[in-house]
Homo-oligomer: A and B are copies of this chain.
Amino acid sequence: MSDMELIEELIKLNDEDSKMTEKQVKILQAAIEIFSEKGYAATSTSEIARKAGVAEGTIFRHYKTKKDLLFSIVTPTLAKIVGPFIARTFVNQTVGKNKLESFEEFIRIVMKNRFEFVKKNIPIIKILLQEIAFHDEMKEQYQQIFMDNIYKKMKHVVEHFQAKGEVIECPPEAVIRMVATSIIGFLLTRFLILPEKQWNDEEEMERTIQFILHGLSTK
């Protein structure tokens, strides 16, 4: 929980307009921990208050409803997920100024970057994965963010490397699906399904990258 960059971001975010109090920080931390352990619906606000060391009423001073609390955790995370894809440098690096010469390098950058991101934000990602299924507002938010950013940029990149003959000819969305599936599949296995296994991260990431590259290679 020490290296949880997102919580820090969360705090800073709100900090700018309204100065988060110490208690509010405690509430957020407690909520993240319990939501990720037992799920949103099975978590009571009184339990959050107890763990945060605040009175029950204090939660509602900062968050109008329990759902508000959930969204205040999850929405910034949703934004963060897009992070590297919005960064101007990202696309430039990839296709724009030709600094990035191969699809392989692209895949490797994404993998490394998302690996670090997931590693640092496991509990919030757990919450996000669980709750997105039940909250339509969340689903829409996510879809909009995904389509407008990740998908768009990815498509651009994929088409670029298809044109260069590095990636097989087939609908870019299928390529994106297979790449995403392989990377996400690895990250979930690594951090959620079998986190206690002894992992050689470098080796396993490399293997997964090679799998993707071979799977999509034109040769």
A70: Cβ under 8 A from any B Cβ: no
Q: Give A190's nearest chain B residue, CB to CB.
A: B177
- The contact of A134 among B39, B204, B210, by CB within 8 Å, is B39
**Stoichiometry (number of copies):** 4
Is the CB–CB distance between A38 and B134 below 8 Å? yes
- The contact of A41 among B41, B178, B186, B204, by CB within 8 Å, is B41
When A178-B211, A181-B181, A207-B170 are in contact, do A133 and B130 touch as well, CB less than 8 Å? yes
A45: Cβ under 8 A from any B Cβ: no
Q: Which residues of B contact A130 (CB under 8 A)?
A: 130, 133
Q: How far is the CA of A189 from the CA of B151 in the complex (A)?
A: 14
A184: Cβ under 8 A from any B Cβ: yes
A96: Cβ under 8 A from any B Cβ: no
Q: Which residues of B contact A178 (CB under 8 A)?
A: 182, 185, 207-208, 211
- Sampled A-B contacts (12; CB under 8 Å): A39-B134, A126-B133, A130-B130, A177-B186, A178-B182, A178-B211, A180-B185, A181-B181, A181-B182, A181-B186, A181-B189, A182-B182
For the complex of A and B, list the 6 residue pairs with the smallest distance between their C-beta atoms, beginning with the closest. Answer: A181-B185, A215-B215, A41-B41, A41-B42, A211-B215, A214-B215
